[in-house]
Amino acid sequence: MREKIVAGNWKMNKNRTEAKALVSELLKEFKHKPAPGVTVVVAPPMPFTGEVVDQTAGTSVQVGAQNCHQSESGAYTGEVAAEMLKSIGVQYVILGHSERRTYYGETDAFVAAKIDRALEHDLVPIYCCGELLEERKAGRHFEVIEAQLKAALYHLHPTEMAKVVIAYEPVWAIGTGETATPEQAQEVHAFIRQKIADQYGRELAEGCAILYGGSCKPSNAQSLFLQPDVDGGLIGGASLKAADFAAIAHSF
Ligand code: PEP
């Protein structure tokens, strides 16, 4: 059976005290009601990552980063290397998020190199792909997603690809309150899995976790997670409230 994952992307939210409190609340939620068979990941803002690793040590909650640089090390002011993340106990890294593509000009080539660095340092990349509203309206979403998969992933060796988690995040649904319908999500997830199967074979594709992201919340998580090719969620806004995030993790 495929891994089920619920990952929270806190983005640039919470100060140190609030971050600690959110993790404490989350740990209480999961202690009170565990989510067996679900991998729960939180990706706090970079300055608190180490503290969150310490706070969650020995619990079922894993820690991710929201980004890493595509180079091993060097003169890149303000950046963070995959090796640094690994050295403090981070396990996942979100790469290719549409906000990074839009605001920081990250291209698929950049993201491909970031995925390489992450894998070299044994971090699990959560690779985000998804179409813009105008691309969806023009019926180009499959073409756009296929191009994103090809550019960022198809250079990977099968042993590397087997470690990658994919997040389908239609850009028009991120932070907008507008969610893809379960049918829309399933259609794209099945398409992504088919593309991975074409490239790497059916067995690898069947093992690949494909998450949905875009205004996922307690009220819609279950209908999304019921879809056969939806293996969990990458959660933005709703990951900032412990009760909501825990409810999503309990929605399988
Ligand atoms: C995201 O940014 O990855 C995301 C899914 O955000 P939201 O849940 O707020 O739409």
- For the segment 102-130, the average pLDDT, to the nearest whole number, is 97
Question: Which one of 12, 169, 210, 248 would you pick to mutate in the ligand 1 pocket, going by the greatest count of ligand atoms within 8 A of its CB?
Answer: 169
Ligand 1, pocket residues at CB < 6 Å: 9, 169, 174-175, 213-216, 234-238
- For the segment 10-19, the average pLDDT, to the nearest whole number, is 98
Check pLDDT > 90 for residue 175.
no
Choosing from 29, 99, 131, 169, the catalytic residue is: 169
- For the segment 74-92, the average pLDDT, to the nearest whole number, is 98
- List the structure tokens of 34: 């565990």
Q: What domains lie within the chain, and their CATH numbers?
A: 4-12+41-70+78-249 (3.20.20.70)
β-pairing, 61-65 vs 165-168, is unpaired
Check pLDDT > 90 for residue 20.
yes
97 is catalytic: yes
Ligand 1 atom closest to the CA of 237, numbered from 1: 9
Ligand 1 atom closest to the CA of 233, numbered from 1: 5
Helix (H, G, I), strand (E, B) or coil at 127: strand
Determine what percent of the chain is predicted with pLDDT higher than 70: 100
* Structure confidence at residue 180 (pLDDT): 93
Ramachandran angles phi, psi of 2, nearest 5°: -70, 150
Confidence of residue 138 (pLDDT cuts 50, 70, 90): very high
Choosing from 97, 121, 141, 189, the catalytic residue is: 97
Distance CA 146, CA 143 (A): 5
Question: Which one of 224, 235, 251 would you pick to mutate in the ligand 1 pocket, going by the greatest count of ligand atoms within 8 A of its CB?
Answer: 235
Model pLDDT for residues 181-235, shown as the tens digit of each residue: 999 999 999 999 999 999 999 999 999 999 999 999 999 999 999 999 999 999 9
Check pLDDT > 90 for residue 141.
yes
Distance CA 176, CA 119 (A): 32
* Structure confidence at residue 89 (pLDDT): 98
Q: Which of 59, 92, 65, 81 is nearest to 209 (CA)?
A: 92
Residue 73 burial class via C-beta count within 10 angstroms: exposed 0-12, middle 13-18, buried 19 and up: exposed
* Structure confidence at residue 153 (pLDDT): 98
Q: Which of 143, 241, 136, 232 is nearest to 192 (CA)?
A: 143
Ligand 1 atom closest to the CA of 98, numbered from 1: 2
Write out the DSSP string of 158-187.
Answer: HHHHTT-EEEE--GGGTTTS----HHHHHH
Residue 51 burial class via C-beta count within 10 angstroms: exposed 0-12, middle 13-18, buried 19 and up: middle
Nearest-CA residue for ligand 1 atom 6 is 236
Model pLDDT for residues 191-203, shown as the tens digit of each residue: 999 999 999 999 9
Task: Enter the pTM of the model.
Answer: 0.97
Write out the DSSP string of 128-141.
Answer: EE---HHHHHTT-H
Query: ∠16-18-20 over CA atoms, to 5°?
Result: 70
- List the structure tokens of 149: 């998969």
Determine what percent of the chain is predicted with pLDDT higher than 90: 98
